[in-house]
Structure 1
């Protein structure tokens, strides 16, 4: 595997409590979630210089499967941290509240931050948006770099290594895959790149320096000015 440095995998709330049959919803998106998380975690753990960081949710509500007194607060076996991997505990949707995660990520001076986990519609979305707004890596999503230079880093959301559940609103039910897709669509390009497990694994094998963005690869021939051409904001 090609040497890979200044890259981090951030796993959000991959905990046993999300196996509850009804608490979060009655159906979950992304059937291949477990398989893809396992593959990504193995790849990052065997890549020299790559970092793995875990976030877990410890609910303050006694009835939650994620309350620290419940077995559900423990990590899923396939995503359990190993020695040397940092773990950040949170009580809100954002892991940047009352933790030093933002400082830790900035100190790593990352070229790319890869985010996976549960749930797309809640803590994954909150984490990704906050990471973008806090600029924990030097990205260019949703803005133009003031000095005109190209951004030096990427935030990447792996669409098939995140998952969410069905929801009800205003008398209608929205299935889990629809909820998942809508949240991916609202984050793509404004806050991050959205790509697949296969794409990330392929880039890790191929090169540690080139961009992992699928759009950068697509636009490379027609827009030689590079990543700066695709930076945009809807705000």
Structure 2
């Protein structure tokens, strides 16, 4: 069901969690220090008195780094929800699926939602597309997202990172980010930099 847009603004921090820091592939991420620009947005939205929602990805019972039992499903170092800022958990790519996110935003009168977090083309992009379909004006904070190399379909599982990066079929992070910008711009979101968001331009 589509949302009747409000006038408020919210920042959605998607999956910026310690789980990713445990993976070898994170060493080749587009921005391993993405917590820095995310933190800048968090401060900016708090200073304006806007809403913040934190979302963490979970895969209960899998034994992976996304299994809450492993202890990594918590915000990256340097990021911390403040009192009153909801922390939602999800098991799907979209932060709107299986959570109270739409109800929260609608109840607050939020019409514009800025998305940041991990991974650029996966949970961040999927959430942005879904938010647009639900009637929110979506802003994609591109340099406050990060992603990892994507192996070609059918690649052997479990290869060392060096082999993945040397494979000409691997999609490198910079290309993943570019693809997401092309896919979202003018269709599902306004793509902006952290600097433009903080400065109120662009």
Give the TM bin, normalised by the shorter chain.
Answer: 0.7 to 0.9
Residue 13 (structure 2) aligns with: 11
Alpha-carbon separation, structure 1, partners of 2:19 and 2:33: 18
1:167 aligns with 2:150: yes
> Aligned with 1:45: secondary structure?
helix
Paired with 1:31 and 1:18, the residues of 2 have a C-alpha distance of: 9
Extract structure 1 runs of 4+ deviating beyond 4 A.
none
**Larger Rg computed on CA atoms:** 1
Partners of 1:164 and 1:126 lie apart in 2 by 14
TM-score (norm 2): 0.83
- Structure 2 distance, partners of 1:70, 1:27, is 23
The answer to whether 1:197 aligns with 2:189 is: no
* 3-state SS, counterpart of residue 186 of structure 1: helix
Q: CA-to-partner distance for each residue in 1:56-99, whole Å, 9 max, x for gaps?
A: 11113523211111122111132221111011111111222221
Matches of 1:101 and 1:155, distance apart in 2: 14
Secondary structure of the structure 2 residue equivalent to 1:79: coil
Specify the alignment match of 1:176 in structure 2: 173
- The residue aligned with 2:39 is 38
Deviation at 1:31, TM superposition (A): 5.2
Matched, 1:65 2:65: yes
Counterpart Cα distance in 2 of 1:86 and 1:10: 10
Structure 2 counterparts to residues 70-149 of structure 1, below 5 A: 70-135=70-135, 137=136
| SS in structure 2 at match of 1:131 | helix
How many Å apart are 1:110 and its aligned residue?
2.1
Q: Is the 8 A contact 2:34 2:144 kept in 1?
A: yes
CA contact (8 A) 1:67 1:73 kept: yes
C-alpha distance in 2 between matches for 1:25 and 1:14: 12
Q: After superposition, what is the alpha-carbon deviation per residue over 1:160-183, rounded to whole angstroms, capped at 9, x for unaligned?
A: 000110011156111111112111
CA drift at 1:44: 1.2
How far apart, CA to CA, are the structure 2 residues paired with 1:161 and 1:61?
Answer: 30
Instruction: Spell out, residue by residue over 1:89-142, the C-alpha distance to the aligned partner (whole angstroms, 9 max, x if none).
Output: 11111222221111111222224211100101211111111111122x2xxxxx
Q: CA-atom RMSD, angstroms?
A: 1.8
Which runs of 5 or more structure 2 residues have no equivalent in the other structure?
1-6, 156-168
Q: Following the alignment from structure 2 to structure 1, what is the Cα–Cα distance between the partners of residues 117 and 63?
A: 22
Contiguous gaps of at least 5 residues in structure 1? 138-153, 204-211, 215-235
